[in-house]
Structure 1
Amino acid sequence: MAQQNSDRLTAVDAGFLHQEGPAAHMHIGGLTVFEGPPPPFEEILDQVRCRLHLLPRYRQRLARPPLQSGNPVWIDDPAFNLEYHVRRTALPAPGKRAQLREATAQIFSQRLDRSKPLWELWIVEGIETDRWALISKTHHALIDGISGIDIATALLDVTPEGMDVPHPDAAWQPRPVPTPAEMLATGIVGAARAGVLGATKALEAFARPRAAAGRVREIGEGVGEMAWELMNPAPDTPLNVPIGPHRRYRAVEGRLETFRRIKDHFGGTVNDVVLAVVTSALRDWLQSRGARTEGLELRALVPVSVRSTDERGQLGNRLTAMRGPLPVYIDDPVQRMEVIRRAMRGLKESKQALGAETIANVQNFAPPTVLAQASRLNFSTRLFNVLVTNVPGPQIPLYLRGRKMERAFPVAFLPKDHALAIAILSYDGAINFGLIGDHDALPDLKFIADGIASAIDELDDLARAGVGGATPARVRTAAP
């Protein structure tokens, strides 16, 4: 019997599909710049072709089971065409950074075709100073930012010489497209499997009642904290307006050692420093728009990976989220850093992430129509004003066909009625920000990017001068 060709999406993955619309594109990716002239296009195609077996999902497309019997499934694309997904373009002369940013924004302004595998890879030539770029674009239903592997990372090597990747002896052949009856059975089996898993967990809880009671109490606290978030919505701001399909893109470059120096001086984590500089930039931007910031605290959606060690490298999303504060009402950068540090420590000690994960797991039992409504709540402006996601990357140089990857910038997505998303990626000693904004709502996106750069310099100057540092005792005893 032939192996069945279907794999059902989880509730989280399907939620990203439900939230996509003509203006809200749920794809993510990155812009990477390489040194030297670009390799011949055919060489890059060959490299992708030789490593695509490492990413079987990248040859699969979506299919919907009949009768709304479950979430969509992934099936092999019988018409898969590599040349459709790997594309080549060039900047007009002189090929400056502004033109590269504009090309990135244009690529991310276009939705992915749902009838094909949900990814694209763009080779960009014609960049000044003898450089070329790679722009990757993948639907969030396919991969999260921390799963550790996507089409771009699969192509990269840790040495200029590259490495030999074992390849199957037989050429890839798509499995037969499942019939409607087979997809219907997949939905039923998936629901039954989820029920068996729930029953198994219940039996385990019955065998260890004390531990189960503690777990139930924690889950209840977490769900309660999520309910409190819904009853206390994020404030209305110029960031939360109807958006269109077109995008703007800006990048900010920083050094990881700078962020470590700041967090070592003030206490907290690198991510706390990230939220502090974003808060500073948004405070200045709001005031430039004539908005009042007294008593105003924005909320950032901060994705948190719940991917276990043995799940590294798997596709799909293993994400939950916390709502971090952005206290734009605070003028003093030292006080702002302290408030964020304490708040984020309190969130980590709270059960908010556990509550969000529990709700996501429950959604796996929900029918698609209910799931669609629940996913709208997940990305509602009631919960957050801006997405801020920080992804740790490799701290060694990477290469493609012998060319060193010099810089890497992430690209996030804009949910409905959210005009700004900020992604952060560390790579080889750098920590770079990628800001994507709605073209019409944020013509002043550069103002926010410049504000982030200025805030980094401000905190670094204060840290170097020894102003307002947190002693080890203060760091240990700070109350949430």
Structure 2
Amino acid sequence: MANSDRLSGLDASFLHLEHDAATHMHVASCMVFEGPPPSHDELVAHVESRLHLVPRYRQRLAFVPYGQGRPVWVDDPHFNTRYHVQHHALPRPGGEEELKQLAGRAFSQQLDRNKPLWELWLVEGLADGRFALLGKTHHALVDGISGVDITTVLFDLTRDPPATPRPDAPWVPRPLPSDAQLLADALLERTTVPGEIARGLRATLRAPRRVVKKVVEDLAAVGSFTLPGVRGAPSSPLNVRIGPHRRFTWDNEDLERVKAIKNALGGTVNDVVLCTVAGGLGRYLRAHGHPTIDLVLRAMIPVSVRADAERGALGNQVAAVWAGLPVGVTEPLERLELVKGEMEGLKESGQAVGARVLTELTGFAPPTVMAQAARLQAHQRFFNLVVTNVPGPQLPLYVLGRRMEAIYPMVPLAQNQALGIAIMSYDGRISFGLNADFDALPDLELLAGQLSEALEELADAAGLPPLDSPRRRRNGRPAAVVAAT
């Protein structure tokens, strides 16, 4: 069996984190399209015509006996596209709230580890004949940043694309390895010098001083990454025991407005977005009577460490940095300056480099050690929430000739993390997808509105003309889900 089929240490860690019914390590999105909806048969055929572009979508996990190695990807001999591409309908005409409720239920369900780790729900019944797709993919399969490239499975750049080239031969699953084979391969790998180590030894012999300097730099970067985690994150109402059920909602904004704020006040689009998140969270906490004076929540922000040559490849090449969110600062300009300084400091600290080094080191940790580390993370509060910001395509995408009008991303919750915020831009819009524990944040819609208010507060500070109202601006979404609300 090829070693390339074995999960990396990072990919396997997402399986260890999913150690009970309350934690689901899949990334997801709710995508809204113009109508009319395709039939289930049409969508199944469309997916089947693209699956050869991502062979991993036909593979499932095989676990090494006695936990003596990380799992491997094997062809699923019982693969059936119809199991993964499901068909659902809202009572017509479906509104925004009904779609959010269905998305929350879909995202609450763990993926079956005995099957390929993805699902796609076709949802009919939206107002004006529109439809939605709910996509779920396990984090062990693909990271959320590279995942933008994997949409070639479904999406086209035009309404009438050229035919997708067919594979030379129909797909035939390879025979499953026996438990004895899985165990033997895992034990053999332990006795083999890893390729990276071998290359490192050769490099050391050629240029020992340069290698030593690089090691010292990497160790310093690791220290800058791990030290904030060692200190721990502050307590907050967002960090409570969570259950298996989720609420999902979103806020959809004008990307050009965000860029105009950036141009007027300085910084980057990411700075404006994180300042908006900090402002919205501060408003939400104060609305619930939680004191925020001097409170700085710690966000875990995934960053891509994937080389350009690796873009489009499956598997995780994503690490993380810790960033402080000054939720206690009510003045928007002051809050933005603090966020800008925080992000500049992270660039200079080398946290991302340290995160990549740790990501690589996980590949050498035995599975039992990885499992214990995952359990340790679950019982220590290293961060308050995850915030992801993924730049998406700034042109329309199509599925079966239907234009995608909006996409709302979802990031999973770790244990004792009741809220995750995923941000993605697409075709001139930027969406904040809010995923929350069902019981811990019963008023998640309030937070969505407060994010919108925090952005408008920045727009006002930037001298931009006001919109009608934050709530009406939030409802200025594509008509796919608004017409019936």
TM-score bin, normalised by smaller chain: over 0.9
Matching residue's letter, 1:222: A
Greater displacement, 126-135 / 377-386: 377-386
Matched with 2:372 is 373
Matching residue's letter, 1:343: E
Matching residue's letter, 1:14: A
Matching residue's letter, 2:261: I
* TM-score, structure 2 normalization: 0.92
Shift of residue 162, structure 1, vs aligned partner: 2.1
Q: Distance in 1 between matches of 2:148 and 2:55?
A: 12
Matched with 2:197 is 198
- 1:172-251 correspondence runs (5 A): 172-192=171-191, 195-251=194-250
1:11 equivalent to 2:6? Answer no
1:398 equivalent to 2:397? Answer yes
Q: Distance in 1 between matches of 2:283 and 2:374?
A: 32
Q: Distance in 2 between matches of 1:465 and 1:131?
A: 33
Matched with 1:363 is 362
Q: Distance in 2 between matches of 1:94 and 1:327?
A: 41
- 1:147-158 correspondence runs (5 A): 147-148=146-147, 152-158=151-157
Shift of residue 376, structure 1, vs aligned partner: 3.9
- 1:114-193 correspondence runs (5 A): 114-148=113-147, 152-192=151-191
Greater displacement, 378-387 / 415-424: 378-387
- 1:228-307 correspondence runs (5 A): 228-307=227-306
Shift of residue 94, structure 1, vs aligned partner: 2.8
Matching residue's letter, 1:285: Y
Q: Distance in 2 between matches of 1:198 and 1:378?
A: 28
Shift of residue 5, structure 1, vs aligned partner: 9.8
- List gaps (5 residues or longer) in structure 1: 467-480
Contact in 1 for aligned 2:149/2:311 (Cα 8 Å): no
- 1:325-474 correspondence runs (5 A): 325-377=324-376, 381-464=380-463
Describe the SS at the equivalent of 2:357.
helix
Shift of residue 104, structure 1, vs aligned partner: 0.4
Overall identity of the aligned pairs, in %: 49
Structure 1 residues 384 and 5, CA gap change in structure 2 (3 angstroms) = closer
Greater displacement, 240-249 / 218-227: 218-227
Describe the SS at the equivalent of 2:441.
coil
Shift of residue 215, structure 1, vs aligned partner: 1.4
Shift of residue 281, structure 1, vs aligned partner: 0.8
* Residues 416-449 of structure 1 deviation map (CA, whole Å, 9 limit, x = unaligned): 1100000011111111110010000000111111
Q: Distance in 1 between matches of 2:80 and 2:212?
A: 53
Shift of residue 191, structure 1, vs aligned partner: 3.8
Q: Distance in 2 between matches of 1:406 and 1:342?
A: 35
Shift of residue 68, structure 1, vs aligned partner: 2.0
Contact in 2 for aligned 1:66/1:183 (Cα 8 Å): yes
Shift of residue 225, structure 1, vs aligned partner: 1.7
Q: Distance in 2 between matches of 1:5 and 1:201?
A: 19
Contact in 2 for aligned 1:299/1:326 (Cα 8 Å): yes
Greater displacement, 333-342 / 350-359: 350-359
Shift of residue 150, structure 1, vs aligned partner: 6.9
Matched with 1:74 is 73
1:39 equivalent to 2:38? Answer yes
Matching residue's letter, 1:115: N
* TM-score, structure 1 normalization: 0.93
Shift of residue 159, structure 1, vs aligned partner: 0.5
Structure 1 residues 327 and 292, CA gap change in structure 2 (3 angstroms) = same
Matching residue's letter, 1:302: I
Structure 1 residues 149 and 395, CA gap change in structure 2 (3 angstroms) = closer
Q: Distance in 1 between matches of 2:165 and 2:357?
A: 39
Describe the SS at the equivalent of 2:373.
helix
Q: Distance in 1 between matches of 2:224 and 2:379?
A: 17
Matching residue's letter, 2:217: E
Matched with 1:477 is none
Matching residue's letter, 1:321: A
Greater displacement, 273-282 / 222-231: 222-231
Q: Distance in 1 between matches of 2:149 and 2:221?
A: 32
Matching residue's letter, 1:336: R
Q: Distance in 1 between matches of 2:349 and 2:325?
A: 18
Matching residue's letter, 1:214: K
Contact in 2 for aligned 1:5/1:177 (Cα 8 Å): no
Contact in 1 for aligned 2:230/2:382 (Cα 8 Å): no
* Residues 295-324 of structure 1 deviation map (CA, whole Å, 9 limit, x = unaligned): 211000000000001101111100110011
Q: Distance in 2 between matches of 1:387 and 1:194?
A: 36
Matching residue's letter, 1:451: Q
Matching residue's letter, 2:6: R
Shift of residue 42, structure 1, vs aligned partner: 1.2
Matching residue's letter, 1:89: H
* Residues 120-141 of structure 1 deviation map (CA, whole Å, 9 limit, x = unaligned): 0000000012210111011111
Q: How many residues align?
A: 464
- List gaps (5 residues or longer) in structure 2: 466-485
Describe the SS at the equivalent of 1:394.
coil
Matched with 1:469 is none
Shift of residue 290, structure 1, vs aligned partner: 1.2
Describe the SS at the equivalent of 1:347.
helix
Greater displacement, 268-277 / 206-215: 206-215
Q: Distance in 2 between matches of 1:219 and 1:424?
A: 30
Contact in 1 for aligned 2:332/2:461 (Cα 8 Å): no
